Each structure stands twice: as structure tokens, then as C-alpha cells.
């Protein structure tokens, strides 16, 4: 008998106008010691499934089916009863470790609390000792001392370790991890996956991991369920899934992941369209509208999971057309990078020399005195050539964003020099600075935050034009042109940003940046907030735009595989300094520095054989 | 600016939906407001009331000072539609006269104080630095001045001049909302869309008008609607103490104050002026609601969890 068995689970969120069917008939088992992954894009129902298992869905959600843990039914238990199971038989690791921990208690106390709640007889001292043992188990150095730290005194990775320690404190039978590594840096991500493996080995628990990152699945999971529109569309052992996927959606998902072994400029395979509305799913296979292999039968009825081999099932009637073909073949697109004329002597459009930025640390309220300084950017030099892409890679806190914003500010830096299109920014007056702004534009990371929610799309795109003296008819003309360039429809212009999906919002952001026909585009992690299949479309768009308009990109990212696809040259930043700089292929194929090598090794690859 | 991009327009022009012009935000907001029936009705009602209180009195057989000794304390009739008070004054004429004062005071004070609050709050929050410090000193200073005493003294000197009343009431009712607006502005300033606008070369005042103000609009609008009521009540308080509007002139406040004494015995004396006051404030609030929904794209009558 398996540890956890879920049969025919359905979750519906009723709203006043419609019923959103988040999960529609999930069946799966998790055995002790096994790692099962629920993979899918946002809105596919993976989190709702997990929350249903631990009984943390909002009260108005309607849940049906059966969830059995060690043979006991969990659905329908009262909240009190569930509280005795949560934290004891089921441990949970959440996505954001900062909000998963209470800021006003020390981490030691929080682990001890998890123990004392379920073991009333356990004394304070015993709980404390055990908490320190747990901290040591999850790999925190000096556990006695760190147990007295508050969450804000720990780094992101350490906080996630504490959350894992709490999850395994009571030796659970099942550990549920909801996107455990999404909020973390790559190097930390790899460590946390190691800790989770240790946790599984120590407790012998089954692990249910929810993630959108196919690299994490390949590194960590034994078996995966690919979810789409509230259902599993393909289930298989991980190595089978990556070698011999049979569902077109899975093929597309794998094809849209940027890879470290692809050459610069290689296109990805995007899945056109967006997931269907879960309030009124279309008849037939929910993936049919986006599927390149769809035939009339696909739209007639929703296919059940069909057995291919005993451990491999796919909800598709055209699996034989998927087997053995690459994603690019299935989707009928070319991933080949276009043969670009390599112009090594292209003029430099951006030149940065010895740029430095320090923040003063002060103490005291009335009499501020300086107690030290933080060197956020410490003597950075690089050059960006016209029509090329410079990728700045680094973990959070490496100073890459500070560098970018220092350049975008177009004001004199604290030290060093910035030269944009041949003009030294320190020597600019107001007028020439405004003129230069048109040539240097930015696309932000979060498409939600970077668009004013109160402005319709037309006004968003018209804003830079109006600010630079375009009249009404030229503005209209240019806005129409921009919408076409980024692949949006004219009718979209009178809608508000909230009505668009994440990928579309990012397209609006790119259109706005292109409005003034800039020569340099600064990209601040433009795809990291997007789902993989959407991300692929944006990366392709950026590559196309560069080719079409000869743009120069300054690309800041922590995601090495995305940088690999886009960047001609790469600069690796660490603690405010550039530790390695060179041509993209060279840095990735033959890293010279230790830190670069560590960074590359930590990237989870969608290839289970690398384990 | 190297190459002209004209190839892309050809594909979009085929879509067929009016390609001539894009709707601007102003047009969209107006369209959304007009779709809100209660808001539109209230706005029309407010305008009608405002016009009526100036246009009707000359057409009535009685002015607000006339005494009809044959109808003392009479309930509403065909002669006196709103009835009369103990002196035989026609309540319809008096209510209209009162509305002239009260609507003027209420609307003007609400608008002036909200405009001050929005200006001070956004400037202090957006720019920070010395502007913030100076403006917040002024706010703190104004907060500790005993405003009610100051107003009574000045109003007494100016013998109930309505302009002074409006100016003073407005000058002492913007501080708290300006602090709220400042706080909201400070968090908006850090948002990426503001940074994006700045990097695009949009001038600071345009950022404030286009991005900051619409995003704090809900609080500003609610504040205005509430201030209409508060200003009328403040004027009532002053008049009750004998400072604001002097007899024989009347305002809704003085009428209500007079009427409260006989609310159970001669209810019309109280009910008509009070009803008009409630109507004005209700309309102001509904217009505010409509405007807020029109400005806020996420405000829709949907998505409430069924319990």
C-alpha cells in the first residue's frame, strides 16, 4: 500500500459569476522514500492539489474525491483534526522562506514550537536540544549560535533550511514542497535540493514537490506528473519523461527551456496561446487550441490517460506522432540561429570604466555617524558593442542591478566614468540628458509592477512619445506600429494591463521601451517572472528585435541558461566586482574562475542523466 | 532612429476595428463612469439641486424672510409645500436659501481642502528631502493650532462672510489626508512604473499627475465626498454657536438646529432641511464611488467568495 494515495481529486472555487475548476480529477500515489513532482505552469492547479492534501484551501473551496494517507481518509476531517496531522505526519516547505517564518521569534524557538505542539510531554530543554540537532542536520554552521538568530539575520538559503528543519522536526511520513527553490539563487538552489535529499533519506518520507522548473524535476524527482488545466496530462518516471515524452504539451514545455548547450542566438520553441480559462474550459482536450498536432477528434472529447508502458501514461490520442521527434519538429519551428554577419569592429555604444558605488552605513538617530560602507559596485569596467548583447550574470546582491540603474540614471557616478553613445554622462546638461534618454531604454523584471495599473495600454505606449513631443496623429501611428512589432492586436490598446497575461504584459513593457527607437535596451531580468513556455516566446522576440533593428542589449540576469541564449559577451559579477568577462561561448565552455565554474555547475539541467 | 519601420502596420490595419483613433484614458474613464447608473443619476441630481436653489427662490410667492401670520407652524400644504415654522416663514424658501450657503460651503471646502491635501501629499512624498520636511512641518503646525477658536474669531470679525468661512474651513481640514496621500505616494514612488516613466524622460510633474494621482485617487475621492458632509456640519456647529451664518440669514445647519427642538411635534420643520442635507451627501458619495470605479480598472462588481 502506498503512503499517499489521491484518487479523483477535484477542487472548485465558486465565485459569484462562475465556478473555477482548479483541479479536475487527479489520481496519483506517493510511496515512502519516493519523490514525486507535480510540474506545470501557473494556473495549472498544482498548488491547489497540494493545498487540498494538507487541508489549507480556503473554506469556500469545494473539494471532492479521496485523499488517503497511510490508508486513512483526510478529506472531510475537521480543521482541529487536520492540525494534529499537519506538521506531524505531513511536513510542508513553502516557496518564500521569509514569509514562512515569524519575524519576531528566533529560529530556534520556531523549531522548538513545532516540536512542542505535537509532543506535549517534551520539555523545553529537550525541544531546544533537538532544534539545534535539526539545524545541524540541515547544514547550518554553528547551530547553537544560529538558533538564537532572528529570521532577518539569516540569508535566504539559510531561512529555507530552517523551514525544512521545521518540516522534518516531527519525522513526517510525507513532505510537501511548494516551489521550494524558486525564490533562491542558483547556487543556493542546488544546496537546498541537497538538503531536501538528506531530509528524505533521514526521515524516509515520501516527497511531493510542486515546481514549474523542469531542471529541478530532473535533478531531484523520481516520478513526475505534468499538469495542464487542472489535470495530469502525462505521468512517467523522470528519465522516461525526458527521453520519451508522448504528450505534445510536455514536448513543448521541454523544448521551451533555455539550455546551457545551445549556441548564442538559438531560438526556443514557444507554445503559442495561453492556458484555457478554468471557469469555462473548452470541450475536448484542453490543450487542443495550442496543440500543433490537434485534429478534429481532439476537440470532440477529452482523452483519458492512456497507458503507453505500465509506468508511463499520457492523455493524448496522437502520442505516436510525438515519439522520437524533437519539439522543433512537432511545433514546426526552426531553432537555428540565423547566420549573422559577425562584425567584430562594431563601434562601442556603451563604455563603463571603473564604476563604483558605495552606500554609507550610519548609526544613531540624532547624531548620524558613519560606521562603514558597503561597496555595492566596486570598480566595474565593460563595453557594449552596437548590435551585440552583453550579459551581466550574478547572484542577488552581486551589484548587477545597481550597475544597471547607475547607467540608466545618466548622472555622474561616484567614481569612474560611463560613456553612452560617445557622450560622457558626467558632462551632460539637462537638455542633452533628456535627448539621450530616448536612446537608452529599459525593460523591467516584473511586468505587473512596471505597468501603471490605472493606465490603458494606449496611454502606456503613448507616454514616452508625448513626453518627447510627438503630436496626436504621429502618436497613434507609432502606437499601432509598436503593437504590431511585439505581436499584440490593435484592439488591445484600450484595455488595462490587468486584463493581460504575464507574457503579454511583458510584451507591452518591451513595446514601451521600443517606442522612441532606442539604440540600447537595458533588460533587467526580463523573463524571470514568466512561465517557461511564455519565456521562450519573449526570448525569441528579443532575438528577432535585435536582428531587425540592430539593437544593443545590456542584459542583467541570474539565469545562466537564458544568458547563454542571448548574450554575445558575458560578464560574471560577484560581490560588486566582475570576476570573469569574455565571449559567451568561451565563458560557458571554458570558465577560468572558480566562481564561474560553481555557478555553472549549480544550474539545474533538464537532463536526468546528469545526476 | 536608423530605419523607418512601416512593414508591421500593414498587418494590423486589416483587423478592421476602428483603426482611425485610439481611445485615450479620459474617454475610457468617461465611458466607464457613464455606465454607472447611480453615479450618473446622483451627478444630475446634484446639478439640479444646485441650479434649483438659485433659480427657484425668485419664482416663489414668499421669500425666506417673509412672515405669513396666517400660517404659523403649519404642515405642508399647497400654499407652503414644505410647511411653515413658528414665525410663519415658508420652509421651502428657507431650505432653498440654506442650500445656497451649505452647498457652496460644502462643495468648495471639500474641493479646496482635497486639492491642497493631494498637492502637498504628492509633492512631499514624491520629492522627499527638504520639500518633504518643510511641508510636514507646516502640517504639524496646522494640526496643533486650535482651529475652531481661530475660525470663530476671524468669522466674528468679518461678520459671517462666507468666503472667509470657506477659506478657513478648507485651511484646517486637509492635514490628515495629506499625510495619508504622502504615505501612499512614498510607496508608489518606489514602483517600477514610476522609474520607467522617469527613464523615458517624462517630467516630474507629469509623473505626479499621470501616475501618482490616479493611483491615490480612491482615497482622494472618498476624502472629498466625506469632506462635503464634514464641512456642512462644521458650518452648522459654528452657526449653532452663533458665529457662522447670522440670522436672519439661514443655512441648512441653522435650520436643522432650529428644527431639532420640535422634531417629534412638528417633524416637517426638521425633516425637510435634514432630508436635503442627507440627499446632498448621499449624492456626493455616489458620484465619488462612480468616479473611483471608473478610474480603477480592477473595481468590478464581482469575485466575492460565497460563504
pLDDT, tens digit (0-9, with 9 covering 90-100), for A469-481: 888 888 888 888 8
Alpha-carbon distance B165 to nearest alpha carbon in chain A (angstroms): 36
Residue of B nearest to A408 (CA): B199
Q: Omega into A272 within 30° of 0, i.e. cis? A: no
Confidence bin at B10 (pLDDT 50/70/90): very low
Confidence bin at A111 (pLDDT 50/70/90): very high
Alpha-carbon distance A120 to nearest alpha carbon in chain B (angstroms): 35
Confidence bin at B12 (pLDDT 50/70/90): very low
- Taking alpha carbons only, the member of B69, B97, B92 closest to residue B80 is B92
Alpha-carbon distance A524 to nearest alpha carbon in chain B (angstroms): 11
Beta bridge partners of A521: A441, A553
Range from A33-42, A470-479, B262-271 carrying the lowest mean pLDDT: B262-271
Q: Is the pLDDT of residue B54 over 80?
A: yes
Using the beta-carbon criterion (under 8 Å), do A494 and B23 form an inter-chain contact? Answer: yes
| Chain B interface mutation, best of A401, A443, A463, highest count of B Cβ atoms under 10 Å | A463
What pLDDT score does B304 carry? 38
Range from A97-111, A294-308, A535-549 carrying the lowest mean pLDDT: A294-308
Q: Is the pLDDT of residue A144 over 50?
A: yes
Q: Which residues of A touch B1 (CB under 8 A)?
A: 517
What pLDDT score does A560 carry? 84
What pLDDT score does B138 carry? 92
Q: Given the DSSP bridges, would you call strands A231-237 and A223-228 parallel, antiparallel or unpaired? A: antiparallel
Rounded-to-integer distance, Cα A581 and Cα A591, Å: 10
Of B8, B22, B211, the CB nearest to A452: B211
Beta bridge partners of A353: A417
What pLDDT score does A377 carry? 85
Q: Does B196 contact A at CB distance below 8 Å?
A: yes
Using the beta-carbon criterion (under 8 Å), do A451 and B193 form an inter-chain contact? Answer: yes
What is the overall mean pLDDT for chain B?
79
Confidence bin at A340 (pLDDT 50/70/90): low
Using the beta-carbon criterion (under 8 Å), do B210 and A59 form an inter-chain contact? Answer: no
Alpha-carbon distance B108 to nearest alpha carbon in chain A (angstroms): 27
Instruction: Read off the pLDDT of each residue in A179-183 and give the average, rounded to a whole number.
Output: 81
Q: What is the three-state SS of chain B?
A: CCCCCCHHHHHHHHHCCCCCCCCCHHHHHHHHHHHCHHHHHHHHHHHHHHHHHHHCHHHCCCCCCCCCCCCCCCCCCCCCCCCECCCCCEHHHHHHHHHHHHHHHHHHHHHHHHHHHHHHHHHHHHHCHHHHHHHHHHHHHHHHCCHHHHHHHHHHHCCCCHHHHHHHHHHCCCHHHHHHHHHHHHHHHCCHHHHHHHHCCCCHHHHHHHHHHHHCHHHHHHHHHHHHHHHHHHHHHHHHCCCCCCCCCCCHHHHHHHHHCCCCCCHHHHHHHHHHHHHHHHHHHHHHHHHHHHHCCCCCCCCCCCC
Of A458, A484, A490, the CB nearest to B24: A458
Q: Which residue has the higher pLDDT, A256 or A223?
A: A223
Instruction: Read off the pLDDT of each residue in A200-212 and give the average, rounded to a whole number.
Output: 89
Q: What is the DSSP letter of A17?
A: S
Range from A89-93, A357-361, B14-18 carrying the lowest mean pLDDT: B14-18
What is the overall mean pLDDT for chain A?
85
Q: Is the pLDDT of residue A611 over 60?
A: no
Using the beta-carbon criterion (under 8 Å), do A456 and B23 form an inter-chain contact? Answer: yes
- In tens, the pLDDT along B108-122 reads 898 999 999 999 999
Sign of CA dihedral A434, A440, A445, A450: positive
Q: Is the pLDDT of residue B18 over 60?
A: no
Burial bucket for residue A390 (CB in 10 Å: 0-12, 13-18, 19+): buried
Range from A394-408, B144-158, B244-258 carrying the lowest mean pLDDT: B244-258
Rounded-to-integer distance, Cα B162 and Cα A448, Å: 48
Of A15, A450, A480, the CB nearest to B9: A480
Q: Does B299 contact A at CB distance below 8 Å?
A: no
Q: Does B6 contact A at CB distance below 8 Å?
A: yes
ipTM of predicted assembly, 2 dp: 0.72
- In tens, the pLDDT along A425-469 reads 888 888 888 888 888 888 888 888 888 888 888 888 888 888 888
Instruction: Read off the pLDDT of each residue in B135-160 and give the average, rounded to a whole number.
Output: 84
Scanning B201-220 for CB atoms below 8 A from A yields 201-203, 206, 210-211, 214-215, 217
Residue found by looking up cell 570576476 in the block: A579
Of A441, A454, A516, the CB nearest to B297: A454
Residue of A nearest to B15 (CA): A490
Q: Does B14 contact A at CB distance below 8 Å?
A: no
Q: Is the pLDDT of residue A97 over 70?
A: yes
Rounded-to-integer distance, Cα A28 and Cα A234, Å: 12
Using the beta-carbon criterion (under 8 Å), do A452 and B193 form an inter-chain contact? Answer: yes
Q: What is the largest CA-CA distance in chain B?
A: 89
Confidence bin at B19 (pLDDT 50/70/90): very low
Q: Which residues of B touch A546 (CB under 8 A)?
A: none
Rounded-to-integer distance, Cα A542 and Cα A537, Å: 9
What pLDDT score does A323 carry? 77
* Contacts A–B by Cβ distance under 8 A: 134
Alpha-carbon distance B297 to nearest alpha carbon in chain A (angstroms): 6
Range from A221-225, A237-241, B77-81 carrying the lowest mean pLDDT: B77-81
Q: Which residues of B touch A449 (CB under 8 A)?
A: 191-193
Beta bridge partners of A523: A443, A555
Instruction: Read off the pLDDT of each residue in B212-220 and give the average, rounded to a whole number.
Output: 86
Using the beta-carbon criterion (under 8 Å), do B192 and A452 form an inter-chain contact? Answer: no
Confidence bin at A209 (pLDDT 50/70/90): very high
Q: Which residues of A touch B203 (CB under 8 A)?
A: 467
What pLDDT score does A342 carry? 58
- In tens, the pLDDT along A487-538 reads 888 877 888 888 787 788 888 989 998 888 888 899 888 887 787 878 888 8
Range from A53-67, A516-530, B38-52, B80-94 carrying the lowest mean pLDDT: B80-94
The enclosing H or E element of A537 equals helix A532-549
Q: Is the pLDDT of residue B303 over 60?
A: no
The model's pTM is 0.78
- In tens, the pLDDT along A389-401 reads 899 988 877 888 8
Instruction: Read off the pLDDT of each residue in A3-26 and give the average, rounded to a whole number.
Output: 85
Beta bridge partners of A237: A223
Instruction: Read off the pLDDT of each residue in A204-226 and give the average, rounded to a whole number.
Output: 88
Q: Which cell numbers in the block locate residue A84?
A: 494534529
Using the beta-carbon criterion (under 8 Å), do B17 and A17 form an inter-chain contact? Answer: no
Confidence bin at B17 (pLDDT 50/70/90): very low
Compute CA distances B262 → A64, A195, B56, B246, whole Å. Answer: 63, 79, 27, 21
Q: Does B197 contact A at CB distance below 8 Å?
A: yes
Q: Which residues of A touch B8 (CB under 8 A)?
A: 481, 484-485
Q: Which residues of B touch A442 (CB under 8 A)?
A: 196, 199
Q: Is the pLDDT of residue A70 over 50?
A: yes
CA angle A540, A524, B216 (to 5 degrees): 115
Q: Is the pLDDT of residue A84 over 60?
A: yes
Q: Does B15 contact A at CB distance below 8 Å?
A: yes
What pLDDT score does A343 carry? 59
Using the beta-carbon criterion (under 8 Å), do B199 and A549 form an inter-chain contact? Answer: no
What pLDDT score does B263 carry? 76
Using the beta-carbon criterion (under 8 Å), do A437 and B8 form an inter-chain contact? Answer: no
Rounded-to-integer distance, Cα A390 and Cα A568, Å: 6
Q: Which residues of B touch A514 (CB under 8 A)?
A: none
Q: Does B26 contact A at CB distance below 8 Å?
A: no
What pLDDT score does A35 carry? 92
The enclosing H or E element of A384 equals strand A369-385
What pLDDT score does A610 carry? 55
Using the beta-carbon criterion (under 8 Å), do A58 and B305 form an inter-chain contact? Answer: yes
Amino acid at each position: 500500500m502506498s503512503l499517499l494515495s489521491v484518487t479523483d481529486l477535484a477542487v472548485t472555487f465558486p465565485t459569484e459569476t462562475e465556478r473555477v475548476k482548479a483541479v479536475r480529477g487527479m489520481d496519483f500515489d506517493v510511496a515512502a522514500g519516493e519523490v514525486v513532482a507535480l510540474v506545470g505552469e501557473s494556473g495549472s492547479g498544482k498548488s491547489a492539489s497540494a493545498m487540498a492534501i494538507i487541508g489549507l484551501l480556503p473554506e469556500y473551496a469545494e473539494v471532492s474525491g479521496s485523499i488517503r494517507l497511510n490508508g486513512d481518509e483526510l478529506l472531510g476531517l475537521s480543521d482541529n483534526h487536520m492540525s494534529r496531522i499537519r506538521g506531524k505526519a505531513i511536513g510542508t516547505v513553502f516557496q518564500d522562506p521569509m514569509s514562512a517564518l515569524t519575524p519576531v521569534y528566533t529560529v530556534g524557538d520556531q523549531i522548538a514550537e513545532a516540536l512542542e505542539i505535537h509532543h506535549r510531554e517534551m520539555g523545553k530543554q529537550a525541544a531546544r536540544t533537538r532544534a539545534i540537532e535539526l539545524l545541524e542536520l540541515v547544514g547550518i554552521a554553528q547551530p547553537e549560535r544560529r538558533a538564537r538568530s532572528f529570521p532577518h539575520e539569516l540569508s535566504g538559503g539559510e531561512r529555507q533550511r530552517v523551514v525544512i528543519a521545521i518540516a522534518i522536526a516531527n519525522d513526517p511520513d510525507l513532505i510537501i514542497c511548494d516551489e521550494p527553490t524558486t525564490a533562491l539563487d542558483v547556487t543556493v538552489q542546488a544546496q537546498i535540493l541537497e538538503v531536501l535529499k538528506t531530509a528524505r533519506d533521514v526521515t524516509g518520507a515520501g516527497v511531493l514537490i510542486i515546481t514549474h522548473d523542469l531542471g529541478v524535476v530532473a535533478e531531484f524527482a523520481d516520478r513526475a506528473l505534468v499538469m495542464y488545466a487542472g489535470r495530469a496530462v502525462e505521468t512517467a518516471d523522470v528519465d522516461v519523461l525526458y527521453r520519451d515524452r508522448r504528450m505534445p504539451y510536455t514536448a513543448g514545455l521541454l523544448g521551451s527551456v533555455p539550455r546551457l548547450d545551445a549556441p548564442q542566438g538559438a531560438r526556443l520553441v514557444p507554445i503559442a496561446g495561453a492556458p484555457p480559462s478554468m471557469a469555462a474550459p473548452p470541450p475536448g482536450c484542453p490543450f487542443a487550441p495550442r496543440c500543433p498536432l490537434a485534429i478534429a477528434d481532439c476537440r470532440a472529447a477529452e482523452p483519458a490517460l492512456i497507458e503507453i508502458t505500465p509506468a508511463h501514461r499520457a492523455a493524448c490520442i496522437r502520442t505516436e506522432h510525438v515519439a522520437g521527434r524533437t519539439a522543433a519538429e512537432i511545433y514546426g519551428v526552426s531553432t537555428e540561429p540565423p547566420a549573422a554577419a559577425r562584425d567584430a569592429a562594431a563601434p562601442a555604444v556603451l563604455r563603463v570604466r571603473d564604476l563604483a558605488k558605495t552606500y554609507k552605513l550610519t548609526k544613531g538617530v540624532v547624531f548620524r555617524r558613519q560606521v562603514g560602507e558597503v561597496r555595492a559596485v566596486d570598480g566595474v569596467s565593460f563595453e557594449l558593442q552596437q548590435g551585440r548583447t552583453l550579459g551581466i550574470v550574478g547572484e542577488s546582491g552581486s551589484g548587477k542591478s545597481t550597475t544597471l540603474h547607475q547607467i540608466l540614471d545618466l548622472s555622474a557616478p561616484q567614481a569612474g566614468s560611463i560613456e553612452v553613445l560617445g557622450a560622457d554622462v558626467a558632462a551632460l546638461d539637462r537638455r542633452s540628458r533628456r535627448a539621450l534618454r530616448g536612446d537608452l531604454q529599459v525593460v523591467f523584471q516584473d511586468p505587473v509592477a512596471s505597468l501603471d495599473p490605472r493606465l490603458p495600454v494606449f496611454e502606456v505606449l503613448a507616454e514616452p512619445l508625448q513626453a518627447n513631443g510627438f503630436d496626436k496623429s504621429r502618436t497613434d501611428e507609432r502606437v499601432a506600429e509598436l503593437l504590431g512589432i511585439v505581436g499584440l492586436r490593435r484592439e488591445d490598446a484600450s484595455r488595462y494591463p490587468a486584463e493581460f497575461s504575464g507574457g503579454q504584459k511583458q510584451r507591452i513593457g518591451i513595446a514601451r521601451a521600443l517606442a522612441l527607437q532606442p539604440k540600447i535596451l537595458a533588460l533587467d531580468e526580463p523573463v524571470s517572472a514568466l512561465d517557461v513556455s511564455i519565456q521562450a516566446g519573449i526570448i525569441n522576440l528579443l532575438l528577432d528585435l535585435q536582428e531587425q533593428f540592430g539593437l544593443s542589449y545590456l542584459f542583467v540576469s541570474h539565469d545562466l541558461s537564458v544568458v547563454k541564449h542571448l548574450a554575445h559577451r558575458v560578464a560574471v559579477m560577484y560581490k560588486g566586482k566582475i570576476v570573469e568577462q569574455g565571449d559567451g561561448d568561451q565563458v560557458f565552455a571554458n570558465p577560468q574562475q572558480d566562481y564561474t565554474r560553481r555557478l555553472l555547475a549549480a544550474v539545474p539541467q533538464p537532463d536526468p542523466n546528469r545526476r | 532612429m536608423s530605419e523607418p519601420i512601416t512593414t508591421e502596420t500593414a498587418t494590423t490595419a486589416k483587423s478592421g476595428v476602428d483603426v482611425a483613433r485610439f481611445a485615450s484614458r479620459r474617454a475610457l474613464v468617461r465611458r466607464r463612469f457613464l455606465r454607472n447608473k447611480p453615479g450618473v443619476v446622483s451627478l444630475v441630481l446634484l446639478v439640479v439641486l444646485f441650479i434649483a436653489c438659485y433659480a427657484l427662490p425668485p419664482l416663489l410667492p414668499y421669500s425666506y424672510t417673509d412672515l405669513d401670520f396666517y400660517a404659523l407652524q403649519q404642515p405642508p400644504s399647497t400654499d407652503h409645500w414644505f410647511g411653515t415654522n413658528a414665525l410663519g416663514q415658508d420652509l421651502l424658501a428657507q431650505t432653498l436659501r440654506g442650500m445656497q450657503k451649505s452647498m457652496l460651503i460644502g462643495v468648495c471646502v471639500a474641493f479646496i481642502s482635497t486639492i491642497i491635501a493631494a498637492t502637498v501629499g504628492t509633492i512631499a512624498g514624491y520629492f522627499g528631502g527638504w520639500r518633504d520636511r518643510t511641508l510636514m512641518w507646516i502640517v504639524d503646525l496646522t494640526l496643533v493650532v486650535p482651529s475652531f477658536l481661530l475660525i470663530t474669531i476671524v468669522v466674528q470679525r468679518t461678520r459671517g462672510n462666507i468666503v472667509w468661512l470657506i477659506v478657513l474651513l478648507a485651511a484646517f481640514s486637509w492635514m490628515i489626508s495629506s499625510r495619508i496621500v504622502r504615505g501612499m505616494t512614498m510607496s508608489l514612488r518606489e514602483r517600477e512604473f514610476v522609474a520607467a516613466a522617469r527613464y523615458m524622460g517624462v517630467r516630474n510633474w507629469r509623473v505626479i499627475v499621470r501616475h501618482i494621482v490616479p493611483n491615490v485617487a480612491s482615497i482622494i475621492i472618498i476624502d472629498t465626498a466625506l469632506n462635503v458632509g464634514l464641512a456642512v456640519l462644521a458650518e452648522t456647529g459654528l452657526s449653532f454657536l452663533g458665529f457662522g451664518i447670522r440670522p436672519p440669514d439661514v443655512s441648512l445647519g441653522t435650520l436643522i438646529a432650529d428644527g431639532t427642538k420640535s422634531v417629534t411635534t412638528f417633524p416637517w420643520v426638521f425633516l425637510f432641511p435634514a432630508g436635503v442635507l442627507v440627499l446632498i451627501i448621499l449624492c456626493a458619495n455616489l458620484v465619488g464611488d462612480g468616479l473611483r470605479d471608473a478610474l480603477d480598472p480592477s473595481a468590478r462588481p464581482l469575485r466575492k467568495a460565497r460563504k
